[in-house]
Structure 1
Amino acid sequence: MKFTIFNKIEDELLKGRICVKEVRLNDFLTRELDGRGVVDTNWNVLLGEFFEDPKKNIRNKGALNEIRTTDAYLRMEIAVSHEAIFQKDVRKLCDKGVNNLLGWLKAAAAVKAGVHNLTKNALDAALEEVRRQTTEAPVILEGLYESVYNARWSHVVELPDDDKTKTGTGMEVREGKPEQSWTYKKVGGILERMTMWSNPVQHLPG
């Protein structure tokens, strides 16, 4: 899921999952526990109702204790509990006008203090992820190649006669732009622009 400052509070907390408390008890027992504890009278019982009072729907004490020790039961019990907390806090925040992460960012301390720590931690983590994605996002300039955007300037200069014999080239590349883009020499009574060694050269990253 992509994090943005305009993501809805409900989407951040529930992550688009099905409402687990509205799963039917017998469907859960059949799928996760091979049908242990299934009773014909429980086909319309939802998990939200079941976890409020498990003994009401599974009266066989031995079967209930066995079910309660399974990982599937414990995971679902936690999921139903967290979902109930999130849904309650979503309603609280919406009543305060906090509908998305931007609203949570701007919310008063009293508003944030009014929700469960699970909710607060989840929304704070989502905000931190938005900040991280924003900080790490590359700079994209429309219509420009990255190599051109990151290019640096250098320029070629002609060396004095003494240095020509040392380098064997008569010129060298120096970083940065030249003090002036052209050099001039006097030809007769006029100044003629030199176009050879003083042209700036733009180096592109390799």
Structure 2
Amino acid sequence: MAVGQILEEDDGVEEPGVPRLRLAVLTSDKGWPYSWEEDVSIRDCHVNCEVERVWQIVKGNVNKWFDTHRGTYFAPKRRVLIGTPGMGKSVAAGSYLLYQLLHCDAEQLPMVAYFIGNRTFLFGKIAKTVSVYMGEASILRIVDGLPDRGFKGYIIYDVALACRQPAAGLPCKGWGMIVVTPPNKNNYYSWAKQTGAEEFIINCLEENNVKAMCAWIKRNQIPQKQAKYWKEVNGCTNKVGPILRFIFGKQASDDRINACQQAVDGMNALTFERYLYIGYC
């Protein structure tokens, strides 16, 4: 998929004889930062119209930032991307944002940082380097001095650890930042309030998006096996919803159903009231 190409949202209108593009796949031989944290190799980043919509929102603000005249101060918007746990926002939206930001003009945006877990990956686009920092304290000292040296940058902060908000010093002066998080306010609320961050939601996949993913995963199989695989995944989706972490295997789906049943059985008035205030998409 070429940089700048756009996956459009399905408006229900298709040109006769022209199938709508449902999915684009970005493949990295070294995997994506999300998989590095999980110590697994996830080479494919699946991009659908929702993932593209997230980038277009970020891109609009980044372009305004680039168009600001030299000497005029412009603070990029801070944003919080909220999505259902397990739906793929980290491995898809987080990775795609990184891909696109790394392909922005290096002179205009020379630095990109990706925070996940206890590690931060700092990409220097002009020198074409990537540095890895353990813990937030070390990277905070580094990025805090970059704006004074004229380096613009953008931070992707993936809340991979429960109830851990970004540090109060993020982002550094003049940098942009987006937090990728499930709908648990303990992960972002204080930081968002302090920085005036704008919240928005990434929606779960539609059926045709999941079907396209199945077609890609089984692209080297005969049609009969592709159809069987889609039937299995679709059955799991009907039971647990379009949550990628739980639909591409019967065991994962069954475990999810059992966990949900246990949560319902153990619910009391207090937990019921708490769940009323948790958003969903």
Same fold (TM over 0.5): no
Bin the TM-score by the shorter chain.
Answer: under 0.3
* Superposition TM-score, scaled by structure 2 size: 0.20
* Superposition TM-score, scaled by structure 1 size: 0.25
User: Which has more radius of gyration?
Assistant: 1
Greater helix share, structure number: 1
